[in-house]
Amino acid sequence: MEILISNWSNVEFVPKTYIFPPESRPGKLEFPVCTDIPLIDLAHNNPDETIQQVIRACHEFGFFQVINHGVSENLMDDTMNIYKEFFKLPGEYKAKFYSNDINKSCKIYSSSLAYDTDEVHYWRDTFTHRCHPLEEHIPSWPDKPTNYREVVSEYSIETRKLFNKILDMICKGLGLEKGYFEGELSKTHLISVNHHIPCPNPSLTLGMPVHSDPNLITMLQQGEVPGLQILKDGQWIGVKHIPHTLIVIPGLQLKVISNDRFMTPVHRVVTHPKEARTTIGVFLGPSPEFLIKPATALIHTESVFRAFAYPEFLEAFVGPAKFDAQLALNHFRSKP
């Protein structure tokens, strides 16, 4: 069978290898929708108040949405259109980028990086590549659709600016020294776009594993088709799409730096019966050599985590924890 689902056509039933066992499938089609995800206006006239809102959201929810964030609506729409077109390109073109190599920057894969050993496949294709420094990575990016490099370069620059703005707010809000997150901690900047074709039976499938983001901080641009869900008080609830907002998720490295004060929510993606869904994720993470540890200013009595190098974390993440990032993090708790 063709590996990339974006190359499938006329899908009338769910192939057996995509059907999850009853205990891990969504099991139903309707889920409650979360109405209280914090919505933060980054152009609010009282910046100190905005910082407090961001910190509160990181403590209490671990998910927030931003408006007036500085990434223009046109750029958001153009980038989304580029990716919708990209996934429609002929199979032979996309095949040039196919890889399951965790170390390869620019690649398309399906289901997960462990496609060959997946017990059940996830209903998605993912296209990902690094974005920083631009000049170093652009040559490996696709040259189709024709304006891919131009539009995605601008999107990379603008989302990086926004990350810097938000990290600066978190830095101030936590009382850390200026520039704490600059440099090595936020060196790896990548884009990762999920694409799901319509699924004949969404109650049997998953568009993305149950997971937490292992990196420093994530930003998601959702399209109009729902699918993202978060686990809140033991229940899966849908995230409502608000046009042109961006969703921000503090990753597990930020949780470590906050000395376990921040929440990093567990989330997943369910599929849609009628419509294709595309979501753009932008991820910021540490350089491989960097030592991660709780910020000294935030250790009042004890450090909840021991220091570790990011590759050590990734080893636990892809190895014993089987991509369960919260489980991987438990390896680094001072008191297991």
Q: Which residues bind ligand OGA (CB under 6 A)?
A: 192, 194, 208, 213, 220, 227-228, 267, 269, 279, 281
CB 213 to Ni ion: min, Å: 4
324 binds Ni ion (CB under 5 A): no
CB 250 to Ni ion: min, Å: 11
CB 334 to ligand OGA: min, Å: 27
213 binds Ni ion (CB under 5 A): yes
- Pair 5, 126: CB distance under 8 Å: no
- Pair 124, 108: CB distance under 8 Å: no
Nearest-Å Rg of the Cα atoms of the chain is: 19
Q: Which of 281, 244, 325, 234 is nearest to 124 (CA)?
A: 281
Nearer to Ni ion, 213 or 324 (CB): 213
CB 124 to Ni ion: min, Å: 12
Which does residue 279 touch among ligand OGA, Ni ion, none (CB within 5 to 8 A, set by kind)?
ligand OGA
Structure tokens that stand for 76 in this block:
């958001």
Nearer to Ni ion, 266 or 295 (CB): 266
- Residue at 50: amino acid letter: T
CB 64 to ligand OGA: min, Å: 15
* Count of alpha carbons within 13 angstroms of residue 16, beta-carbon side: 0
Stretch that binds Ni ion, among 46-54, 60-68, 107-115, 210-218 (CB under 5 A): 210-218
Distance CA 247, CA 229 (A): 12
Nearer to ligand OGA, 118 or 168 (CB): 118
Nearer to ligand OGA, 7 or 218 (CB): 218
Nearer to Ni ion, 151 or 166 (CB): 166
> Closest-CB residue for ligand OGA?
279
Which does residue 228 touch among Ni ion, ligand OGA, none (CB within 5 to 8 A, set by kind)?
ligand OGA
Which does residue 186 touch among Ni ion, ligand OGA, none (CB within 5 to 8 A, set by kind)?
none
Stretch that binds Ni ion, among 19-27, 40-48, 209-217, 284-292 (CB under 5 A): 209-217
Which does residue 185 touch among ligand OGA, Ni ion, none (CB within 5 to 8 A, set by kind)?
none
Which does residue 230 touch among ligand OGA, Ni ion, none (CB within 5 to 8 A, set by kind)?
none
CB 262 to Ni ion: min, Å: 15
**Total interface residues for Ni ion by CB under 5 A:** 1
Nearer to ligand OGA, 164 or 192 (CB): 192
- Residue at 156: amino acid letter: S
* Beta bridge pairs of residue 194: 126, 279
**Exposed e or buried b per residue across 137-155, where buried means at least 16 C-beta atoms within 10 angstroms of its C-beta:** bbeebbeebeebbebbbbb
Stretch that binds Ni ion, among 91-99, 181-189, 192-200, 205-213 (CB under 5 A): 205-213
Nearer to Ni ion, 138 or 231 (CB): 231
CB 291 to ligand OGA: min, Å: 24
Nearer to ligand OGA, 149 or 211 (CB): 211
Q: List residues binding Ni ion (CB under 5 A).
A: 213
